[in-house]
């Protein structure tokens, strides 16, 4: 079946983009060319690698993905929070091309270059806290988590690592043990790394605790189950990503930092999903008055090029012996050049302001939907990191039972109608809005109209 959808209201926004910033569906989803590619893929790509929406992408610009069949999708996922400045952002593309012409690789640990140093300067300037900071650059989020743990162990001389319930930290052999969900991340891949402890978190919608109460519960666990003197680090996402965009209660994070400082524990902010302007501040920790010892960056830092960083207190970062940190591709020059352009774009285009605009527009639209559909239990988040938790009204758990069926049906409907909408949540009960900051208000209105239709279809079909 073929249907054609366009949104003329967005036409005015097309002038500065190489792809019209509009939704357009011209084939069945997936279209014939995507379907053929999916067949080729089945023969050669591991079944362990899944794709949420199997449309093969030919081009992307701003907040729009174009597939090989000519369909255009409003991208509310940004490659899971990576293309924060927008797809193929002009200055990022130019910086990467220019750097590629100059040199593409030397390996910083063999012969260094300025771009790596500049990224470390920018991270020292923009991460929370007014004290001397240093960085190491690596390739991926999980690698940043791994290095954060190594650095904290070396500095403290302690063994244990603590994380929070509902956390997600990666897919490597250490980080899979740091995730809350065994399935699909750890099931069958054991034995898991030892000395990883999962403490209770702050999840105000479900636990009803104040920040002080939730922190007391977390600290009691760390004290009793781990013992502060064996604890090297506590790794925390200021707003949990894959877990469902839980915003902790006020005072929770500073109380944990205070306890960590008093007990010689390194507290690490995993800002891999929440950082780099996404939340309306450079780093989401700032919303909570939290000044972490170490900050982990990845995803949005280089506009789509692979780059990650551990940044933090100089004395902690310097505890490692020369040669203890690094890796062949860590701080690749092209990625670094792109990251410098990203930092410049955040300033030049007021992207913190744009993230705040997106929060206002999404909150208004989602509030209207919440008034219309009682399956929306809570709207939460900051900036371009917003989510709705879907519930089953009329069931137990104080009307808050997870509604994974609705999440899955709405996300599927949205994909079929040209809106790429990511799911999240420990129980698959959350729809998340993680767009690039190039997403216009007109595209927000259009995307929410599709979600409105999806919710209406759900209500109809369930009767
Ligand atoms: N920490 C907070 O969000 C990656 C995972 C996508 P890598 N999240 C998206 C998927 O299904 O693989 C993530 C994160 C937080 C760490 C990571 C890991 O980052 O770059 O994927 O290794």
pLDDT tens digits in sequence order for the chain, 463 residues long: 333 333 333 333 434 899 999 999 999 999 999 999 999 999 999 999 999 999 999 999 999 999 999 999 999 999 999 999 999 999 999 999 999 999 999 999 999 999 999 999 999 999 999 999 999 999 999 999 999 999 999 999 999 999 999 999 999 999 999 999 999 999 999 999 999 999 999 999 999 999 999 999 999 999 999 999 999 999 999 999 999 999 999 999 999 999 999 999 999 999 999 999 999 999 999 999 999 999 999 999 999 999 999 999 999 999 999 999 999 999 999 999 999 999 999 999 999 999 999 999 999 999 999 999 999 999 999 999 999 999 998 876 678 999 999 999 999 999 999 999 999 999 999 999 999 999 999 999 999 999 999 999 997 765 4
Give the residue carrying structure tokens 């300037």.
Answer: 125
Q: How much is the pLDDT for 5?
A: 37
Q: Give the C-alpha separation, 239 to 205, whole Å.
A: 14
Task: Please give the C-alpha separations between residue 10 and each of 65, 128, 193, 451, in angstroms, as whole numbers.
Answer: 15, 37, 50, 18
- Mutate which of 139, 145, 147, 168 for ligand 1? The one with the most ligand atoms within 8 Å of its CB, which is 168
Query: For the chain, which residues make up each domain, given as ranges?
Result: 3-75+350-461, 91-348
Q: How much is the pLDDT for 461?
A: 64
CATH of domain 3-75+350-461: 3.90.1150.10
Q: Is 145 in the pocket of ligand 1 (CB under 6 A)?
A: yes
- Mutate which of 242, 274, 297, 425 for ligand 1? The one with the most ligand atoms within 8 Å of its CB, which is 242
Handedness of CA 231, 237, 243, 249 (dihedral sign): positive
The ligand 1 atom at the shortest distance from the C-alpha of residue 298 is: 20
Q: Is 75 in the pocket of ligand 1 (CB under 6 A)?
A: no
* CATH topology identical between 3-75+350-461 and 91-348: no
Distance 207 CA to ligand 1 centre (A): 26
CATH class label, 91-348: alpha beta
Around 309, how many Cα atoms within 13 Å sit in the side-chain half-sphere?
Answer: 29
Q: Give the C-alpha separation, 162 to 199, whole Å.
A: 7
Q: How much is the pLDDT for 6?
A: 38
Residue bearing the CA closest to ligand 1, atom 16 = 169
Q: How much is the pLDDT for 399?
A: 82
The ligand 1 atom at the shortest distance from the C-alpha of residue 172 is: 22
Q: Give the C-alpha separation, 417 to 72, whole Å.
A: 10
Closest CA to 128 of 384, 312, 319: 312
Q: Is 424 in the pocket of ligand 1 (CB under 6 A)?
A: no
Q: Give the C-alpha separation, 342 to 155, whole Å.
A: 31
Distance 177 CA to ligand 1 centre (A): 14
The ligand 1 atom at the shortest distance from the C-alpha of residue 170 is: 18
**Under 8 Å between Cβ of 269 and 296:** yes
- Mutate which of 79, 268, 273, 310 for ligand 1? The one with the most ligand atoms within 8 Å of its CB, which is 273
Q: Give the C-alpha separation, 336 to 102, whole Å.
A: 13
Distance 170 CA to ligand 1 centre (A): 5
**Under 8 Å between Cβ of 29 and 50:** no
Q: How much is the pLDDT for 395?
A: 78
Q: Is 271 in the pocket of ligand 1 (CB under 6 A)?
A: no
**Under 8 Å between Cβ of 186 and 176:** yes
Q: Give the C-alpha separation, 252 to 214, whole Å.
A: 7
Q: Is 432 in the pocket of ligand 1 (CB under 6 A)?
A: no
84 DSSP β-pair partners:
none
């Amino acid at each position: 079946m073929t249907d054609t959808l366009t949104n003329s209201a967005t036409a005015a926004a097309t002038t500065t983009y190489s792809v019209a910033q509009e939704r357009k569906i011209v084939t069945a989803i997936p279209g014939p060319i995507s379907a053929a590619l999916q067949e080729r893929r089945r023969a050669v790509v591991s079944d362990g690698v899944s794709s949420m929406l199997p449309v093969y992408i030919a081009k992307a610009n701003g907040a729009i993905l174009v597939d090989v069949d000519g369909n255009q999708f409003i991208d509310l996922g940004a490659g899971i929070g990576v293309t924060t400045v927008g797809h193929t952002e002009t200055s990022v593309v130019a910086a990467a091309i220019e750097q590629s012409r100059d040199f593409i690789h030397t390996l910083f640990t063999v012969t260094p270059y300025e771009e790596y140093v500049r990224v470390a300067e920018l991270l020292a300037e923009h991460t929370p806290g007014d004290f001397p900071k240093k960085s190491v650059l690596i390739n991926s989020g999980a690698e940043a988590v791994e290095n954060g743990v190594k650095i904290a162990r070396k500095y403290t001389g302690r063994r244990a690592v603590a994380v929070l319930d509902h956390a997600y930290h990666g897919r490597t052999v250490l980080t899979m043990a740091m995730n809350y969900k065994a399935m699909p991340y750890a099931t069958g891949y054991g034995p898991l790394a030892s000395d990883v402890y999962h403490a209770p978190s702050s999840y105000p919608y479900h636990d009803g605790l104040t920040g002080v109460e939730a922190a007391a519960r977390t600290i009691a666990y760390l004290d009793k189950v781990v013992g502060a003197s064996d604890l090297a680090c506590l790794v925390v996402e200021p707003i949990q990503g894959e877990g469902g965009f839980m915003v902790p209660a006020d005072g929770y994070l500073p109380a944990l930092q205070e306890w960590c400082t008093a007990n010689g524990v390194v507290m690490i902010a995993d800002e891999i999903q929440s950082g780099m302007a996404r939340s309306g501040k450079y780093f989401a920790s700032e919303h909570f008055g939290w000044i972490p010892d170490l900050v982990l960056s990845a995803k949005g830092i280089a506009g789509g090029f692979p780059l990650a960083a551990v940044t933090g207190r100089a004395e902690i970062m310097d505890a490692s012996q020369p040669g203890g940190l690094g890796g062949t591709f860590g701080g690749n020059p092209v990625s670094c050049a792109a990251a410098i352009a990203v930092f410049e774009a955040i300033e030049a285009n007021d992207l913190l302001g744009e993230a705040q605009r997106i929060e206002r527009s999404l909150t208004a639209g989602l509030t209207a939907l919440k008034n219309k559909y009682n399956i929306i239990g809570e709207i939460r988040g900051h900036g371009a990191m917003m989510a709705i938790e879907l519930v089953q009204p009329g069931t137990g758990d104080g009307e808050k039972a997870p509604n994974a069926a609705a999440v899955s049906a709405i996300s599927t409907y949205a994909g079929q109608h040209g809106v790429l909408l990511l799911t999240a949540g420990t129980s698959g009960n959350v729809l998340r809005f993680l767009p690039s900051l190039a997403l216009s208000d007109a595209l927000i209105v259009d995307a929410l109209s599709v979600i409105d239709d999806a919710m209406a279809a759900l209500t109809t079909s369930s009767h």
